[in-house]
Structure 1
Amino acid sequence: MPEGAPVYQPGFNPDSICKAPPTGGSYGTPVAEGAGFKYDEATLHELVKEWNALANEYADDLDQARAIAVARPPGREYASGGNAEITQKSGAALEDALRHRIAYCKGMASKYLTALGKYATAEDHAKTVINQLPEGIA
């Protein structure tokens, strides 16, 4: 196991040629006061984008899973009907699982958007405080 803080590389998957090259970012600095991590603004934006992209991929899969959920038997005999019924149940389970995954991904994106809002609020507050200080050395 490598030593030091793990590095998050947004958009980078070393096992895939379809992903973009590393763009930087980090998992963040462990928070001394308690559990959790700190993220920089760029990493938060990238995480929102990635979770939304994953939700969209699952939504595309959900569109295709519908064909399984409405499968028709190839013939009118008992075996074909039973096979189609099992296939439809499998398709319905797949649709349900994909809906849960979509909701999870959207929830994660929402959490990072909330963090971005807190980040922006803290930054605005810091700017206000700095702008209220007198200029130059007193």
Structure 2
Amino acid sequence: MPDGQPPVYDPNTRRAPLTPITPRTGTYGAPTGTDASGPGFMYDQATLEQLAKDWNDMANEFKADQVQARNIALAEGPGLEYASGNNAIMIQGSGRALLATLEERERHCRGMAAKFQAALGKYAAAEGAHATDIKRSGGSL
């Protein structure tokens, strides 16, 4: 790969290639603190928002690609002879397999986006709880 960059999904260059996002805060590994519930990355709010957007954008690309896959799945042979009919059947099977794959990838991306949205909700709830604790103790933000 040029410049040592990892490959990224970029169907027909519909949009700029995705760039890897690295966490701005936190670490990967065992949880620390009283609020930690399991291993994983910890991100700040802006990173969570960007990750949710990127996963939804990728899901939208898979959704758009499904239109072309449906066209392939409905392909007809160019003629009325035996070879054309069999060719169309094979192409239709490939189109159905492609469509199923794209639908599964879209579901996966939507699921990942939902996880980051849920993390954003937890982030906002934790921020609110911490702000309340600070105000209650007489401090200020």
Q: Normalising to structure 2: TM-score of the pair?
A: 0.76
Question: Unaligned stretches of 5+ in structure 1?
Answer: 1-12
Q: Which residue is 1:73 aligned to? A: 77
Q: Which stretches of structure 1, 4 residues or more, deviate above 6 A after TM superposition?
A: 20-24
Query: Which residue pairs with 1:29 in the alignment?
Result: 27
Provide the secondary structure at the position in 2 that maps to 1:37.
coil
1:18 to 16, 19, 25: 16
1:121 aligns with 2:121: no
- Counterpart amino acid of 1:36? G
Does the 8 A contact of 2:55 with 2:113 survive in 1? yes
1:112 pairs with 2:116:
yes
CA distance in 1, matches of 2:105, 2:18: 23
Alpha-carbon shift at residue 38 of structure 1 (Å): 0.7
2:5 paired residue number: none
Residues 31, 38 of structure 1: 8 Å contact kept: no
- SS of 2:16 mapped into structure 1: coil
Cα gap change, 1:38 to 1:24, in 2 (>3 Å): closer
Question: 1:20 offset after TM fit, Å?
Answer: 7.8
Q: Gaps (5+ residues) in structure 2?
A: 1-7, 32-37
Could you say what secondary structure the match of 1:49 adopts? helix
Measure, in 2, the Cα distance between the counterparts of 1:22 and 1:87.
35
Aligned partner (choices 83, 86, 111) of residue 82 of structure 1 = 86
1:94-113 paired onto structure 2 within 5 Å: 94-113=98-117
User: Post-superposition shift, 1:30?
Assistant: 2.4
- Give the SS at the match of 1:39: coil
Percent identical residues: 47
- TM (norm. structure 1) is 0.78
Change (3 A) 1:24 1:90: closer
